[in-house]
Amino acid sequence: MKKLSTLLLMLVAAQYIHAQQLLTSKPDKNSFPLVTASPAAIYTDSTDDWLVNKSAQLLQADIEKVTGKKPALIHNIADAPANVVIIGSQNGCQPLQSLAANKRTAYKPMEPAWETYQIQTLTRPFPHINKALVISGSDKRGVAYGVLEISKQIGVSPWYWWADVPVKKQSSLYIKGNSFRCTSPSVRYRGIFINDEAPAFSGWTKEKFGGFNHHMYEHMFELLLRLKGNYLWPAMWGNAFNDDDTLNPVMAHKWGIVMGSSHHEPMLRAHDEWRRYGKGPWNYVKNENTLRDFWRTGITRMRDHESIVTIGMRGDGDEPMTEGTATALLERIVKDQRQILTEITGKPAAATPQLWALYKEVQDYYDNGMRVPDDITLLLCDDNWGNIRKLPDLQEKPRGGGYGIYYHFDYVGDPRNYKWLNTNNIARVWEQMHLAKAYGADRIWIVNVGDLKPMEFPISFFLDYAWNTDKWHADNLRDYYTKWAGEQFGATYATRIGEVLRRYGQYAARRKPELLNADTYSLTAYNEFSRVLQEWEILLKDATAIGASLPPAYKDAYFQLVLHPVKAFTIVHQLYHAVALNRSYAAQQDTSANAWANKARQLYISDSLLSQEYNQHANGKWNHMMDQTHIGYTYWQQPEVNSMPAVSYVKAHRPVTRTDSLPKDTSRYFSLPAARYTNAVSNAGISWKAIPDIGSTGDGITTFPVTRSVSLGKNSPHLEYAIYSRDTGTISITGHFSPTLDFTGGKGLKYAVSVDNAEPVILQLHDEGNWSKWVSENVIRQTSTHHLSQPGKHIVKYWMISPGIILQQLTVNTGGLQNSYLPPPPTGSR
Ligand code: REL
């Protein structure tokens, strides 16, 4: 029965995805010939919005890239040949208005709506036109999204420029005859934050564009639209979007990109502008007039450019306000900022979208009662490590401005920077953003993406999911890897490359490379270090083999998107493994230490050669993008330069008594992957579901709906795991969980564990003071003790109480469990 329903779900999902396929290879009388022997012409009303015309130019260029045939771009409908693509916004395109007025055509006019579009094939819409493909939008971005959806489907990846993804060549293109309508996105503002951009992005853009100017930003605006995003927090490490190049905001506006500034840069003024022009202290008590003038400039400069204004105030830069800053003062600051908005725009403050970011200590002000007017979006935040700190209270009345989320794929700060490679497992991103959506935080989703590269894959996922939160769920998440790989590398390689990306995502999330060292994994317990290394080496072997079989045109894209990160991670694991063995042998005065020291040195060099290879490949197009240091951290901040981990040499060979550290598998423990339960009890409308790949070594399991908690009772939802133990007496059971925070703001997340019919032990997921450990290890472990009165079969029970808890593994220690970083291999599979 379970299998049947899974099959049905898969079919429904496939049809849903399939339903959006616009292209057909089997043209019929209804389909639209976009390109046959010659391409259809493209029409826009030249008075329509700049972005509409730009989108048409992009489509024209994309069709030429795909087919080698360049469509004519015309602006007089009377000049249209038999087949024409009409691109227009409902209000800006004269022929669309004529069609809307003509009851005899099948054209369905677009109603006013946020970013919707329609792609429709019409026969004889005008007497001289045989067929028209109408791409119409309810607004300018709607049009762009419709056009760029076609670009994507004909084979131009959103990443064609930013990751050198080759265009898939075709000689003819037909669009299906049916009409396709895309409704408003699930999240209104969907964007990225370029941050922590030195040394990589800064070095690159300086060399290639001469700085953070509109020449570079136009590429980013285009990328955002192709990914169906609409919102940007620009780079701010010594950079100031509006001040560095006055064409930056002008072009953002034309491209339809909604601009903001980061959480601690109020009133659309970059932090660096205060360094450049600010006078006196960044302190509202001492310097309010100067600050208000400074902010006035931000709002004056905003003009009619679509923006979201950050309000509130933090300390100078990314710092808290001085201790004891009163809520009343902060509320006055917000009031004054809104007064400036009213004065300068001549409209009520509420007419300009604003956000107040509850970042770090600012959330405490909120929790202690500070409030801002209802039209302001409350931007809830993660803990900088991908764990959302707070979600709206479902019992509270909805806010006019709604709620949003500020999330991180990259971070500079405690307990350690992570900014070198992509370490974001999309299973976890899905799980956290699904929570956000379920609790109503869907007005703004913005993610800190560091240097943008090499975050291509999770950026795509974040924006795709924000576009349509109904499309991706625990049952089809694995399809995302294949779909994305297919879009970049073609259908032939989609499954194999998708599988590499999936395994990479899981392995990379185990620990940030900046936090790895020779002691992370155990050399002895369960042969852990060798096993982890072997997984990476097998992945590298697979990735290399696929790379070797790809057509040469894919080489650069494959290197950036797939091979480099796998190789880079593998090398650092090999390096620390060699260092660990060196130290272990050296401690025993064994000269084998020397070979490992030499090997470690070679690997250290391989690491830097690989960064160099990245910087030089694609004819040096991405030079500096791999300049980030990553070996030799001693505290949270990055080292200036990489440094070789210490190794030592053993001089003369002295006979040693080897305490050889062979793995001892003494058993007397059980390692139980969460999703491999023997029985699941669902109840009270709550069901259990596995989230694929979210765990450090496998799937995780949680309850749905994610908004429901239960009081523990005899029949409440639980999972059962059967074990057979030779041991009796006191045992301990450890749950391994994803580091979800108590986003409810309540008394902590709870679950319970019991054995057989004993009373369940209720546990809190969190204990004070361990946050750094959870995020560094990307896991929370909690242990309870239980009693086995007799040997034999026992049932371990895991009881749900709070929602949102992701159980990855249970380990049961009956006397033989050893210390290791990851849970031991599953019992039964050793
Ligand atoms: O990751 C964050 O949100 C912050 O640390 C940054 O936004 C912060 O502004 C930092 O880059 C510099 O000030």
* Whether residue 666 has pLDDT greater than 80: no
- Cα–ligand 1 centroid distance for 288 (angstroms): 24
Nearest CA to ligand 1 atom 13: 318
Among all chains, which residue has been given the structure tokens 């080897």?
658
Is pLDDT at 511 greater than 60 in this prediction?
yes
CB atoms within 10 A of CB 493: 22
Please indicate, yes or no, whether residues 128 and 200 belong to a single structural domain of this protein: no
- Taking 90 as the threshold, does the pLDDT of residue 282 lie above it? yes
Mean pLDDT, the chain, rounded, equals: 95
Q: How many domains does the chain have?
A: 4
Ligand 1 atom with the shortest distance to the CA of 381: 3
CATH number reported for the structural domain that contains residue 770 in this entry: 2.60.120.1620
555-566 per-position pLDDT tens digit: 999 999 999 999
CA 677 from centroid of its chain's CA atoms: 30
Contacts made by residues 58-63, CB under 8 angstroms, sequence distance 24+: 58/147, 58/148, 58/151, 58/222, 59/85, 59/87, 59/147, 59/148, 59/150, 59/151, 62/151, 62/154, 62/156, 62/167, 63/34, 63/35, 63/39, 63/154, 63/173
Shared domain for 311 and 430, answered yes or no, is: yes
- pLDDT of 657: 53
Tens-digit pLDDT profile for residues 668-706: 999 999 999 999 999 989 999 999 999 999 999 999 999
Q: Which residue is closest in CA terms to ligand 1's atom 8?
A: 318
Output the residue whose Cα is nearest ligand 1's atom 6: 318
**Residue 580 exposure: Cα atoms within 13 Å on the Cβ side:** 21
Q: Does residue 172 sit in the same domain as residue 298?
A: no
Residue 5 pLDDT > 70: no
- In angstroms, what is the span from residue 261 Cα to ligand 1's centroid? 11
Q: Which value, in Å, is the radius of gyration of the alpha carbons in the chain?
A: 29
Residues with CB under 6 A from ligand 1: 195-196, 262, 264, 317-318, 384, 411-413, 448
Does residue 215 share a domain with residue 124? no
Cβ neighbours around 757 below 10 Å, total: 7
CA dihedral angle for residue 767, residue 633, residue 823, residue 579, rounded to 10 degrees: -150
Do residues 742 and 724 make contact, with C-beta atoms less than 8 angstroms apart? Answer: no
Q: What is the rounded CA–CA span in Å between residue 750 and residue 765?
A: 6
> Within this chain, do residues 468 and 497 fall inside the same structural domain, yes or no?
no
Using left for φ > 0, alpha for ψ between -120 and 50, and beta otherwise, residue 370 falls in beta
Does residue 294 form part of some domain? yes
pLDDT score at 656: 53
Is residue 483 in some structural domain? no
Is the domain of 91 the same as that of 28? yes
Residue whose entry in the numeric block shows the structure tokens 């709906």: 705
Domain extent at residue 562: 493-620
- How many angstroms does the Cα of residue 175 sit away from the middle of ligand 1? 45
Residue that terminates a domain, selected from 161, 182, 203: 182
d(CA 776, CA 171): 51
362 and 455 both lie in a single domain:
yes
Cα–ligand 1 centroid distance for 21 (angstroms): 40
Is pLDDT above 70 for 298?
A: yes
Residue 176: which CATH number? Answer: 3.30.379.10
Q: Which atom of ligand 1 is nearest to the CA of 265?
A: 9
319 and 411 belong to one structural domain:
yes
Protein residue whose Cα sits closest to atom 10 of ligand 1: 318
Residue 320 has what DSSP assignment? P
Instruction: Specify which residues 356 forms β-bridges with.
Output: 378
What number does the ligand 1 atom closest to the CA of 262 have?
7
pLDDT, tens only, 706-746? 999 999 999 999 999 999 999 999 999 999 999 999 999 88
Cα 5 to averaged position of ligand 1 atoms, centre (Å): 45
CB count within 10 Å of CB 310 equals 25
Max Cα separation, the chain? 98
Residue type present at position 666: T
> What six digits make up the tokens of 347?
């409209």
* Residue 167 counted as domain residue: yes
Residues 830 and 826: their CA atoms lie apart, in Å, by 7
User: What is the C-alpha separation between 229 and 221, in angstroms, rounded?
Assistant: 9
Is the pLDDT score of 12 beyond 80?
Answer: no
Which of 182, 207, 233 delimits the end of a domain?
182
Return the axis-axis angle of helices 50-67 and 247-254, rounded to nearest 10°: 80
Please tell me whether residue 130 adopts helix, strand or coil conformation. Answer: coil
Q: Which atom of ligand 1 is nearest to the CA of 448?
A: 1
Tell me the CA–centroid distance for residue 283 and ligand 1, in Å: 19
Whole-number Å distance, alpha carbon 263 to ligand 1 midpoint, is 8
Q: How far is the CA of 195 from the centre of ligand 1 (A)?
A: 7
CATH number of the domain residue 330 falls in: 3.20.20.520
Alpha-carbon distances of 396 from 186, 400, 436, 440, 514, rounded to whole Å: 21, 12, 15, 11, 41
**Cβ atoms of 734 and 807 closer than 8 Å:** no
pLDDT over 80 (residue 9): no
pLDDT grade for 630, boundaries at 50, 70 and 90: very high
**Whose C-alpha lies nearest to ligand 1, atom 1?**
411
Q: Is the pLDDT of residue 608 over 60?
A: yes
Q: Which of 193, 201, 239, 264 to mutate to test the pocket of ligand 1 (most atoms within 8 A of CB)?
A: 264
pLDDT bucket at 17, cuts 50 / 70 / 90: very low
Q: What is the C-alpha separation between 147 and 118, in angstroms, rounded? A: 10
CA of 490 to the centre of ligand 1 (A): 37
Asked whether residue 627 is domain-assigned, the answer is no
- State the distance from the centre of ligand 1 to the C-alpha of 317, rounded, in angstroms: 8
Are 315 and 178 in the same domain?
Answer: no
- Model confidence pLDDT, tens digit, residues 460-500: 999 999 999 999 999 999 999 999 999 999 999 999 999 99
Query: In this model, does residue 664 exceed pLDDT 50?
Result: no
Q: How far is the CA of 194 from the centre of ligand 1 (A)?
A: 10
Q: Which two tokens stand for residue 48?
A: 């329509």
Q: At 701, which helix (H) or strand (E)?
A: strand 700-704
3-state secondary structure of 73: strand
| DSSP letter assigned to residue 675 | T
d(CA 96, CA 100): 6
The sheet that has 83-89: what strands, in order across it?
73-74, 41-43, 83-89, 131-137, 117-123, 180-182
Q: Which residue has the tokens 């040499």?
A: 649
480 CA to centre of ligand 1 in angstroms: 30
Neighbours of 205 (CB within 10 A): 24
Long-range pairs of 284-290 with CB within 8 A, sequence gap ≥ 24: 284/313, 284/329, 284/332, 284/333, 285/329, 288/336
For residue 602, tell me if it sits in a domain. yes
Q: Sorting pLDDT into bands at 50, 70 and 90, what band is 18?
A: very low
Q: Which of 20-24, 167-171, 646-650 has the lowest mean pLDDT?
A: 20-24
Does one domain contain both 298 and 429? yes
Task: With a threshold of 0.90, tell me whether the complex ipTM lies above it.
Answer: yes
Same domain, 794 and 687: yes
53: which residues sit within 8 A by CB, 6+ positions away? Answer: 44, 46
Using the predicted structure, report yes or no on whether residue 15 has a pLDDT greater than 90. no
Confidence check: pLDDT of 529 > 90: yes
In this prediction, what percent of the chain has a pLDDT beyond 90? 92
pLDDT band at 663 (very low <50, low <70, confident <90, very high): low
- For residue 449, give the 3-state DSSP assignment: coil
| pLDDT score, position 661 | 46
Q: Residue 267: pLDDT band by 50, 70, 90 thresholds?
A: very high
Q: How far is the CA of 271 from the centre of ligand 1 (A)?
A: 10
Residue 484 maps to a domain: no
Task: For residues 49-53, give the mean pLDDT.
Answer: 98
Please measure the distance between the N-terminal and C-terminal CA atoms of the chain and give it in whole angstroms. 31
In the three-class reduction of DSSP (H, G, I as helix; E, B as strand; rest coil), residue 12 is classed as: helix
CA 331 / ligand 1 centre spacing (Å): 23
Looking at ligand 1, which atom is closest to the CA of residue 408?
Answer: 1
Q: Is the pLDDT of residue 10 over 90?
A: no
Domain annotation covers residue 653? no
* Residue 156 · residue 166 · CB < 8 Å: no
- Taking CA atoms only, the protein residue closest to ligand 1 atom 4 is 318
The answer to whether 118 and 131 have CB atoms below 8 angstroms apart is no
Ligand 1 pocket check: which of 195, 269, 313, 419 to mutate, most ligand atoms within 8 Å of Cβ?
A: 195
Task: State how beta strands 377-381 and 354-357 pair.
Answer: parallel
For residue 654, being part of any structural domain is answered with no
Running DSSP on this structure, what letter comes out for residue 109? P
Of 164, 182, 200, the residue that ends a domain is: 182
CATH of the domain at 556: 1.20.58.2150
CA gap 176, 685 in Å, rounded: 42
Pocket-testing residue among 272, 412, 446, ligand 1, by greatest number of atoms within 8 A of Cβ: 412
Nearest alpha carbon to residue 33 among 86, 96, 106, 82: 82
Question: Which atom of ligand 1 is nearest to 195's Cα?
Answer: 11
Instruction: Indicate if the pLDDT at residue 366 is higher than 60.
Output: yes
Q: What average pLDDT does range 342-370 have in this prediction?
A: 96
510 in the same domain as 450:
no
In the predicted structure, residue 824 carries a pLDDT above the cut 80: yes
Give residue 666's region: left, alpha or beta (phi > 0; psi -120 to 50). alpha
Rounded mean pLDDT, 8-32: 66
How are beta strands 41-43 and 73-74 bridged, if at all?
A: parallel
DSSP output for 531-573? HHHHHHHHHHHHHHHHHHHS-GGGHHHHIIIIIHHHHHHHHHH
Report the alpha-carbon distance of residue 350 to residue 374 in Å, rounded.
9
Q: Which of 522, 661, 639 is nearest to 587 (CA)?
A: 661
Pocket test for ligand 1, best of 201, 236, 261, 359 (most atoms within 8 A of CB): 236
pLDDT, average across residues 225-248:
98
